[in-house]
């Protein structure tokens, strides 16, 4: 499979890129700073670019079989449309180039699904980020792509385990965090298995 990873130099993106290369896929890493990726492989193509640049995104997506979005916002907790704006460009170019499959990492909370008082506090604190992700996800769904949305609980730089909980509705009843490596593992699994097509999956350790 010929896969393009947007945000490949981030925590989850880097793990996913390495995993896909280990599984012998052709991978294009679309990154702002190639030095942060720190990977070299005969099956890897690195494109330095900005996902807000429509022409660069179009050129990068052409000929790909699937898109993996690990894009992050540089706005922190401030109100922003950066994720939605980047995703709109990616989705529009997918549609224009007949690329159907996308895996998108968002966050637990985009569906107002974290239970309890602590969940309400977390979702309020992350309100701007969650809103931006939710708008991005809604645009993906609106364009009838074959999608999988990953909704991880708090991301941690813990060791890969390959053991984690999934919830098609809400979030897992136990576990408040998950390693970035395990999220990448789930995203790869979702890409390879049709049972995850058009699903939104909560993840925790």
pLDDT in tens, the chain (205 residues): 999 999 999 999 999 999 999 999 999 999 999 999 989 999 999 999 999 999 999 999 999 999 999 999 887 888 899 999 999 999 999 999 999 999 999 999 999 999 999 899 999 999 999 999 999 999 999 999 999 999 999 999 999 999 999 999 999 998 899 999 999 999 999 999 999 999 999 999 9
Q: What pLDDT, on a 0 to 100 scale, did the predictor assign at position 37?
A: 93
Q: What would the 3-class secondary structure string for the chain be?
A: CEEEEECCCCHHHHHHHHHHHHCCCEEEEEECCHHHHCCCCCCEEEEECCCCCHHHHHHHHCCCCEEEECCCCCCCCCCCCHHHHHHHHHHHHHHHCCCCEEEEECCCCCCCCCCHHHHHHHHHHCHHHHHHHHHHHHHHHHCCCEEEEEEECEEECCCCCCCCEEECCCCCCCCCEEEHHHHHHHHHHHHHCHHHCCEEEEEEC
Contact 132, 165 (CB under 8 A): no
Other Cβ atoms closer than 10 A to 127: 13
Q: What is the CATH number of the domain that holds 71?
A: 3.40.50.720
Domain that holds residue 50: 2-204
Q: What pLDDT, on a 0 to 100 scale, did the predictor assign at position 71?
A: 96
The upper half-sphere exposure of residue 12, i.e. CA atoms within 13 Å in the direction of its Cβ, equals: 29
Start-to-end C-alpha separation, the chain: 29
Q: What pLDDT, on a 0 to 100 scale, did the predictor assign at position 44?
A: 98
Contact 65, 99 (CB under 8 A): yes
Q: What pLDDT, on a 0 to 100 scale, did the predictor assign at position 78?
A: 86
Q: What pLDDT, on a 0 to 100 scale, did the predictor assign at position 11?
A: 94
Does the global pTM surpass 0.75?
Answer: yes
Q: What pLDDT, on a 0 to 100 scale, did the predictor assign at position 76?
A: 80
Q: What pLDDT, on a 0 to 100 scale, did the predictor assign at position 74?
A: 81
Q: What pLDDT, on a 0 to 100 scale, did the predictor assign at position 183?
A: 98
Residue whose token pair is 């939710």? 134
Number of domain units in the chain: 1
Contact 94, 67 (CB under 8 A): yes
Q: What pLDDT, on a 0 to 100 scale, did the predictor assign at position 77?
A: 80
Q: What pLDDT, on a 0 to 100 scale, did the predictor assign at position 157?
A: 95
Strands 154-156 and 2-6: unpaired
């Amino acid at each position: 499979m010929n896969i393009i990873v947007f945000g490949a130099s981030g925590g989850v993106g880097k793990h996913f890129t390495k995993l896909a290369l280990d599984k012998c896929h052709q991978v294009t890493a679309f990154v702002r700073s190639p030095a942060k990726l720190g990977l070299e492989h005969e099956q890897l193509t690195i494109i330095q670019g900005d996902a807000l640049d429509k022409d660069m995104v179009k050129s990068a997506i052409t000929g790909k079989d699937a898109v993996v979005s690990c894009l992050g916002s540089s706005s922190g907790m401030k109100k922003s449309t950066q994720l939605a704006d980047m995703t709109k460009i990616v989705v529009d170019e997918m549609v224009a180039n007949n690329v159907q499959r996308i895996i998108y990492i968002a966050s637990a909370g985009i569906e107002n699904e974290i239970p309890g008082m602590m969940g309400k506090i977390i979702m309020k604190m992350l309100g701007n980020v969650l809103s931006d992700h939710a708008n991005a996800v809604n645009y993906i769904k609106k364009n009838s792509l074959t999608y999988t949305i990953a909704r991880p609980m708090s991301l941690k730089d813990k060791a890969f385990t390959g053991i984690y909980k999934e919830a098609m509705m809400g979030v897992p009843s136990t576990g408040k965090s998950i390693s970035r490596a395990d999220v990448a593992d789930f995203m790869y699994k979702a890409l390879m298995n049709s049972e995850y097509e058009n699903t939104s999956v909560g993840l925790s350790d």
